Structure formats: structure tokens, C-alpha cells
Amino acid sequence: MSIGHTLLGLLESGPRHGYDLKRAFDAKFGHDRPLHYGQVYSTMSRLLKNGLVEVDGIEAGDGPERKRYAITEAGVTDVARWLATPEKPEPYLQSTLYTKVVLALLTSRDAADILDTQRSEHLRGMRALTERKRRGDLADQLICDHALFHLEADLRWLELTAARLDRLREAVSR
């Protein structure tokens, strides 16, 4: 996820302080990975340097001065371009799980056990996501669906690999 673009998009609704941006980000996108304050302020500093935001005001408080940021026209254009650009699909061609299976075969370990253990872990994760989806709002349901679909694809791969394990053993042993 592009944190800079996300913060810019949040600024389109109006100027905000870094603290407010962090809270809005965490509420909408940071359920599992909230932003650190340092990350917000370093990103805002970069966006300011690049002319995508401007300081809309500075307020004195008990602590350090609080800057209020506003998005510039260049920032709006940048967000629009980012939103219109499709994400490159991630084909997962360098899978750690595949590497573990092949190394198990090469070292005469039981690759079927690795697949079984991974299948159990995937199913545990799917149960947790399904429960979270059941309790969550629409945004959380959609995030959980995305993760569940990826885990389902992984499970299909685990089954297919288990069915082809003898052939894979022969292929990697050459």
C-alpha cells in the first residue's frame, strides 16, 4: 500500500494535522497494521518537499507545534493518477512454501508432513478470518474475503502439490 497516496487521499476531504491523519488511516486501513507517528510525519515531510501538500496552519500547544496539512493541486493529480493505475498482480513465483517442500525432498525429509502442517495452519487462519468477517463491518468483511480467497488458492496448491509429490521428488532429484 502506498502510505503517501493514502494520506494524500485522506487530505482531499480537508486539511488535517498529522495526528488526525494517523487516526483516520488507522480507522480505515490500519486494522492489522496501524501507522507509527514517525511514519506519518516522515511521509508528510516528503510530500511537503515534493509539493504535494502544503502547511495550512501551525498551532501552538502544550508540546511541539502542530502543523495542519492541506493537499495541493499537484497532490490531487498525483492521487488521481495513482488510483487510475492498476496494481500489478502478484504471481507468488518465489514461494517460501514451495522452497520448503523442495528442500525437504532434497534432504530426505517428509515433505508431506510440511504440507499437512501448512494446511492445518491455513485452515486455522481461515477460521479466524471467517470469525472476524462475521463480526466485522463491510470494510472488514471485504478485507477478510480478499485474504480468504488467497488462502483458498494456497489450499488448492497444497492439495495439488501433495498429489504430485512423488513426481516432484523425481524432478528435483535429477
Whole-angstrom distance, CA of residue 155 vs CA of residue 118:
9
Whole-angstrom distance, CA of residue 131 vs CA of residue 73:
42
Mean pLDDT rounded to a whole number for the chain: 92
Indicate the pLDDT class of residue 93, thresholds 50, 70 and 90: low
Looking at residue 155, what is its pLDDT?
95
Whole-angstrom distance, CA of residue 169 vs CA of residue 133:
39
Nearest to 129, CA basis, from 152, 109, 110, 107: 152
The region, left, alpha or beta by phi > 0 then psi within -120 to 50, assigned to residue 108 is: left
Looking at residue 125, what is its pLDDT?
95
Instruction: Please compute the mean of the pLDDT values over residues 13-20 and round it to a whole number.
Output: 94
Whole-angstrom distance, CA of residue 17 vs CA of residue 1:
21
Looking at residue 86, what is its pLDDT?
86
φ and ψ at 160, to 5 degrees? -65, -45
